[in-house]
């Protein structure tokens, strides 16, 4: 099991964000952790039933804080993705996420941005950023700023 208090620069922790459609919450979380964690962390995201594209309002909300997630695409959750992750952060995927011993699991209860306007998505984005900063601290991931 990875020692999160002092991750090796050659072997950064792998964090997997999972939600149902992999189009909003998990993509925003992955965007924040990638931007803030830099090379100190490997970031992945997936969905139990991925959508065809990322929620354009989530893209807009992230662009407002200088993070571009337009190149990302919803990805199907695989058992291997969970197996290779050190930390798995779920966001409403329920029992669809496989569980392996020795992994860190967290379930973040966040509103779903699907079908919401930008004014409703901004607070979700800001809550995700706050949780990402806490997660980075708990995992000992040094940030590059923002």
Domain ranges of the chain: 14-139
| 3 CB-near residues (< 8 Å, 6+ apart) | none
114 is an active site residue: no
Top pLDDT among 21 and 95 is at 21
Residue 9 has pLDDT above 60, yes or no: no
Chain centroid, CA 118 distance in Å: 20
Question: For the range 136-139, what are the long-range contacts, defined as Cβ-Cβ under 8 Å and sequence gap of 24 or more?
Answer: 136/33, 136/36, 136/37, 136/41, 138/4, 139/4, 139/7, 139/13, 139/15, 139/41, 139/87
Residue 134 has pLDDT above 70, yes or no: yes
pLDDT at 1: 39
93 is an active site residue: yes
Structural class in CATH, domain 14-139: alpha beta
pLDDT at 92: 75
Q: How many angstroms separate the CA atoms of 61 and 127, rounded?
A: 12
Catalytic residue among 97, 128, 136, 141: 97
110 is an active site residue: no
Task: Please state, in angstroms and as integers, the Cα–Cα distance from residue 22 to each residue in 10, 39, 48, 55, 97, following that order.
Answer: 28, 22, 8, 9, 13
pLDDT at 144: 62
pLDDT at 84: 93
Catalytic residue among 19, 20, 58, 88: 19
Catalytic residue among 18, 85, 93, 136: 93
DSSP SS3 for 128: helix
Beta carbons of 24 and 118 less than 8 angstroms apart? no
């Amino acid at each position: 099991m990875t020692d999160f208090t002092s991750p090796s620069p050659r072997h950064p922790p792998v964090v997997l964000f999972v939600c149902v459609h992999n189009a909003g919450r998990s993509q925003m979380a992955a965007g924040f952790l990638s931007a803030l964690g830099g090379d100190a962390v490997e970031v992945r995201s997936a969905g139990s039933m991925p959508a065809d594209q990322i929620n354009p309002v989530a893209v807009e909300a992230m662009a407002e804080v200088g993070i571009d997630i337009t190149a990302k695409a919803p990805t199907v959750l695989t058992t291997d993705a969970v197996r290779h992750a050190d930390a798995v952060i779920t966001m409403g995927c329920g029992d669809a996420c496989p569980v392996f011993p020795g992994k860190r699991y967290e379930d973040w209860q966040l509103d779903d941005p699907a079908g919401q306007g930008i004014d409703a998505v901004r607070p979700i984005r800001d809550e995700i950023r706050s949780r990402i900063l806490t997660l980075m601290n708990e995992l000992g991931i040094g940030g590059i700023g923002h």
